[in-house]
Structure 1
Amino acid sequence: MLFAEGSVALVTGGSRGIGRAVALDLAREGAHVIVNYARSERDAKDVVALIQESGGSAEAVRADVADEDAVRQMFRGIRADHGRLDVLVTSAGLTLDRYLITMSQEQFRTPLDVNVVGTFLACREALRLMQNQKRGSIVTISSTSGLDGGFPGQTNYVASKGAIIAFTSALSNEAAPHGIRANVVAPGFVATDMTRKVPTDIRKQYESRIRLGRMGRPEEIASIVSFLASDKASYISGSVIVAHGGGLG
Structure 2
Amino acid sequence: MVVRLKDKVSIITGAAKGIGKETALIFGEEGSNVIVTDIDLDGASETASLMHDKGYNATPMQLDLSKLDNIKEFVKRVLSEFSRIDILINNAGLFSNVPILEMTENEWDKVMNVNLKGTFFLSKEILPIMIQKKYGKIVNISSLAAKRGGVTSGINYASSKAGVISVTKCLAKFSAPFGINVNAVVPSFCDTPMFRGLPPEKQDSAIKSIPLGRIARPDELGKAILFLASDDASYITGEILDVNGGVLMD
TM over 0.5: yes
Partner of 2:88: 88
Partner of 1:51: 51
Q: Which amino acid aligns with 2:5?
A: F
Residues 155-170 of structure 1 mapped to structure 2, 5 A cutoff: 155-170=155-170
Partner of 1:3: 5
Distance 1:152 1:2 in 2: 36
Residues 117-132 of structure 1 mapped to structure 2, 5 A cutoff: 117-132=117-132
Equivalent residues of 2:85, 2:129 under 8 A apart: yes
* CA-based RMSD: 1.3
Partner of 2:27: 26
- 1:132 deviates by 1.1
Q: Which amino acid aligns with 2:39?
A: A
Q: TM-score, with normalisation over the residues of structure 1?
A: 0.96
Equivalent residues of 1:211, 1:248 under 8 A apart: no
Residues 130-209 of structure 1 mapped to structure 2, 5 A cutoff: 130-151=130-151, 154-209=154-209
Residues 108-123 of structure 1 mapped to structure 2, 5 A cutoff: 108-123=108-123
Aligned residues: 247
Distance 1:248 1:238 in 2: 19
Q: Which amino acid aligns with 2:130?
A: M
Partner of 2:102: 102
Secondary structure of 2:140 counterpart: strand
Partner of 2:72: 72
Partner of 1:38: 39
Which consecutive residues of structure 2, in runs of 5 or more, have no partner in the other structure?
none
- 1:246 deviates by 1.2
**Which range moved further: 178-187 or 120-129?**
120-129
Equivalent residues of 1:99, 1:152 under 8 A apart: no
What are the Cα deviations for residues 127-185 of structure 1, in whole angstroms up to 9, with x where unaligned? 02111111010000001110111216511100000000011100001111111000000
- 1:89 deviates by 0.1
Secondary structure of 2:190 counterpart: coil
- 1:17 deviates by 1.0
What are the Cα deviations for residues 48-90 of structure 1, in whole angstroms up to 9, with x where unaligned? 1111111110100111011111111110011111111110000
- 1:33 deviates by 0.2
What are the Cα deviations for residues 177-220 of structure 1, in whole angstroms up to 9, with x where unaligned? 11100000000000111111211111112202211110101110
**Percent identity, aligned pairs only?**
33
Distance 1:207 1:131 in 2: 42
Secondary structure of 2:245 counterpart: coil
Equivalent residues of 1:212, 1:245 under 8 A apart: yes
Secondary structure of 2:49 counterpart: helix
Q: Residues 104, 213 of structure 1: CA spacing in aligned structure 2 closer, same or farther, 3 A cutoff?
A: same
Secondary structure of 1:72 counterpart: helix
Secondary structure of 1:34 counterpart: strand
Q: TM-score, with normalisation over the residues of structure 2?
A: 0.96
Q: Which amino acid aligns with 2:50?
A: L
Partner of 2:217: 217
Q: Residues 93, 153 of structure 1: CA spacing in aligned structure 2 closer, same or farther, 3 A cutoff?
A: closer
Q: Which amino acid aligns with 1:72?
A: K
Equivalent residues of 1:3, 1:30 under 8 A apart: yes
Distance 1:206 1:229 in 2: 29
Partner of 1:14: 15
- 1:109 deviates by 1.7
Distance 1:153 1:88 in 2: 26
Q: Residues 147, 167 of structure 1: CA spacing in aligned structure 2 closer, same or farther, 3 A cutoff?
A: same
